[in-house]
Amino acid sequence: MPTTTAEFIRRELSRGELADIAARVYAGERLTREDGIRLWESQDLLGIGYLADLARQRTCGDTVYFINNAHINYTNICQNLCDLCAFGRQTGTPGAYTLTLAEIEAKARAAAAAGVTEIHIVGGLNPELPYDYYLELIRTVRRAAPGACIQAFDAVEIDFIASRAGRPVADVLQELRQAGLDSLPGGGAEVFAPEVRRRLCAKKIDGQRWLQIHETAHRLGIPTNATMLYGHLETAADRVDHLLALRELQDRTGGFLAFIPLAFHPANTAFSNLPGTTGVDDLKMLAISRLLLDNFRHIKAFWIMIGPKLAQVALHFGVNDLDGTVREEHIFHDAGAETPQYQPAESFLQSIRAAGRIPVERDTLYREIRRYA
């Protein structure tokens, strides 16, 4: 008779609807598109979580990462004003803002004084900003926080900046790197499915362009993250196809650092009638990501979006990273996120240890800063 919960789940999996998929996970075989869709359609949450936890253990052991970081959202003025977004504003409307370089320098200096090792910078597509603003923004942060990695400008912003400059993306990425850029965040991916993307964010670059920009960054030696926004109009097949497109690019470049599923927050958007994700959605999303993305070392639960307690539970559903201290965040809080905007390092230590894992503070590139006993 089984003596532990894990043994019980394994026995039930072996004779349930997911028995063949479980056998492939045990054997270390790559899962297919059909497998992914069947996982989404299954109600066996604990079985899926067990398999994802097994895959997590094989890939990265019991280490769980967090980072001491700070976010800077330099402008919310945006020419796209996507229906999915509550952050963007038109110029001159209430709440519209663009930070001056002096204001950005002050934020970067405050972050450096707090000992952050990453400054994460994203914003809207502001047509009033010249190309030099972006280069000088990076130079300013580099001077103010010389010890921190700079992760800035998602693929949508990079496409916009290159268009404004009339320059190839590769040239812009090279100049931003020379100014001090270390990596790109994974935002703007949303869901690659063209029809869903048309309804969510018709003016945004398409999925192929997003993948091309990340591939260009990888080819230049600039690592990036990957994301997917889930919990709105997409189907299970759309989610799986998105993950497999990321897996295919990672096979070719190896340039992705981490995958971060982003739970859609509908408040104050054109989709405020949607209910948002549930805890089951969030855990299945994270677990299936771990199982399908067998070439990604890090799967991150962004606690800002799902809350610190569910993020802690996610450590048993394939997750090995809880992201960072953050300190200030506008994009998801404008869309109804009710989480705090700051979580101290001590909170990560307590959360990770209580889950039976080993806390490790990292930098942007997953270099260990401190491993806690």
Structure tokens at 307: 């809350």
Sheet architecture: strand order including 63-67: 321-324, 63-67, 358-362, 368-371
Q: Is 60 annotated as a binding residue?
A: no
Angle among Cα 311, 337, 300 to the nearest 5 degrees reads 30
- Measure the CA–CA gap between 113 and 170, rounded to whole angstroms: 33
Strand intervals (E) in the chain: 63-67, 69-73, 118-122, 149-152, 224-230, 256-263, 298-299, 321-324, 358-362, 368-371
Written as one string, the DSSP assignment of 156-221 is HHHHHHHHHHT--HHHHHHHHHHHT--BB--TT-S---HHHHHHHHTTS--HHHHHHHHHHHHHTT
- Measure the CA–CA gap between 309 and 146, rounded to whole angstroms: 33
Q: Which of 241, 281, 244 is nearest to 265 (CA)?
A: 281
Q: Is 78 annotated as a binding residue?
A: yes
Q: Is 85 annotated as a binding residue?
A: yes
Q: Is 82 annotated as a binding residue?
A: yes
Structure tokens at 18: 């997911």
Known binding-site residues equal 78, 82, 85, 190
Binding-site entries for [4Fe-4S] cluster? 78, 82, 85
Residues annotated within the binding site for S-adenosyl-L-methionine are 190
